[in-house]
Structure 1
Amino acid sequence: MLGTKPKEEFGETTIEVLGKRCKKVTIIWKAGQFEYYYNSEYLKMDSSLFLNYNYDGWYQFLKKSNSLPLRIVKKVGGMIITTMDLIEVNEVNVND
């Protein structure tokens, strides 16, 4: 995603992943797009932790959603579509 800044679109489209209703943020760049589906009340994330991480429009997505995605759809050059779904969440305590 080098060069011009990718465009962001917010859709009214909602889908269900792991029983959670998810909204969509689409990051559009020259060679394709990423669709990130999220539920802002689930898997919350502090976007500032990724301020300088721009690969795949990750920070752009996080600053809008403030949560991790439950589904990611990557579309490249009209030839390849990759869909990644969260299938399980396990919470554990981690010592700092």
Structure 2
Amino acid sequence: MTTFDDRERAYEAKFAHDADLRFKAEARRNRLLGEWAAELLGKSGEDVRTYAMSVVSSDFEEPGDEDVYRKLAGDLEGRADAETIRAKMAEMMAEARRQIIEELD
């Protein structure tokens, strides 16, 4: 096996690992967003978990974050504006990444 082959395999492995971590962080962010939104909606108990999972599922509609944003914006109409939702999305992504990294250590 050549050095080039080794480098190529290492690059592919890193790419796959990074993609896996990104997927996990986005799913975690969406769950955290769902829990936040559920609180704003006055949900409690199992309803919080169910709603959070619906936010996670909404991310599979299309690539990117707009599908999650649309779900939250529609559900939180009158309770949170676009700026608040987008800020919370960024905040929860940072928190999700922090949690994932802590779990890896």
Higher helix share: 2
TM-score under structure 1 length normalisation: 0.24
| Greater RCO (CA < 8 Å, at least 6 residues apart) | 2
Larger Rg over CA atoms: 2
